[in-house]
A = this chain, B = another copy of it.
Amino acid sequence: MIVALKPNVSPEKQERLVEWFKEMGLGVHVSTGTYQTVLGLIGDTTKVDMDLVGSLDIVEKVSRVTETFKCCNRKFHPDDTVIDVNGVKIGGGNFCIIAGPCSVESEEQIVGIAKAVKEAGAGMLRGGAFKPRTSPYDFQGLRAVGLELLKTARRETGLPIVTEIMSATDLPLFEDVDVLQVGARNMQNFDLLRELGRTDKPILLKRGLANTLKELLMSAEYIMASGNEKVILCERGIRTFSDYLRNTLDLSAVPMLHELSHLPVVVDPSHATGIAKLVPPMALAGTACGCDGLLIEVHNDPVHALSDGAQSIKPDEFAVLAKKIKAVREASL
């Protein structure tokens, strides 16, 4: 951490600041220039509050040289993490399409879709049982019943299941789920993250609508610091001024996250765009820039879907798309 002092700071004040840093157990390297003195802090600076130091009247500017995330930092763990979900792998060269409806609606629906997406090449089944909705008057999901239907679909197809958990108190219900999804709105629900860090299940962590890559990594850090290293990051669109689409899919996050972290990164083009016909081009774009997997909403009857039908594609469209994804992936490697 670098602390640049204002010009003409008195030696006493400077000394007091240096002492304060030393009390925190840090080494301090003072470099005195003609115009300006700069302090270099050495040691574990993750506990130093940059905002606080920056607010001191003798300080001009503070900047961090090292990142505050550790467990998920590629610098300390150069090899890609590979996550194995009942034999289906993701990360480190393993690519996986996770497909299924936004909401689980009935046994017929979920089993039908599961069979269709498996045949087309999906590696896991997604489906919402507990649904976070902006309005309390909207459909909130089949909840526990929905989880049972997902397990039925898994029995019928062998596909591991991925579904969203909204509260740590629901954890007992999710015991037999393969991958737990944390939704964008809960990305900084730190109590939930900490509890998920105490399980041994892979966690699919969605980036919040207005969260930076660093915040996403710090949320992964909450899970990993509690003991669970199986985290899959997910880019699903951010909130910007742009108003034609629901969100702005930030695909450059994919290569950037790969640079910063060893964790697998998947892309969700369905929630990002909110429009079914944009799902195929954006799925291909995500693939071309190197994501480790995709989360794609598929529904056999999008017009009558209980939620988010607007962004679902049909099984036959998914089958065509899955083939193109494979071809684009091979072309881009």
Residues of chain A having any CB pair with chain B under 8 Å? 2, 4, 27, 29, 31, 33-36, 38, 40, 42, 46-47, 49, 51-52, 54-56, 60-61, 63-65, 68-69, 132-138, 166-169, 185-186, 188-192, 194, 208-210, 212-215, 218, 221-222, 225-226, 238-246, 248-256, 259, 272-278, 281-282, 284-290, 302-303, 305, 307-311, 324, 327-328, 330-332
Give the number of copies in the complex.
4
| Residue of B51, B212, B309 touching A49 (CB-CB under 8 A) | B309
A69 CB to closest chain B CB, in angstroms?
Answer: 8
Closest to A184 in B: B188
Contact present for B309 and A55 (CB under 8 Å)? yes
Bound-state CA distance A276–B307 (Å) is: 38
Contact B245 A256 (CB under 8 A): yes
Q: B210–A285 contact, CB under 8 A?
A: no
A275 smallest CB distance to B (angstroms): 7
Query: For A168, what are the chain B residues with a Cβ–Cβ distance below 8 Å?
Result: 167, 169
Whole-angstrom CA separation of A35 from B56 in the bound complex: 27
Which of A133, A256, A275, A288 gathers the greatest number of chain B CB atoms within 10 Å? A288
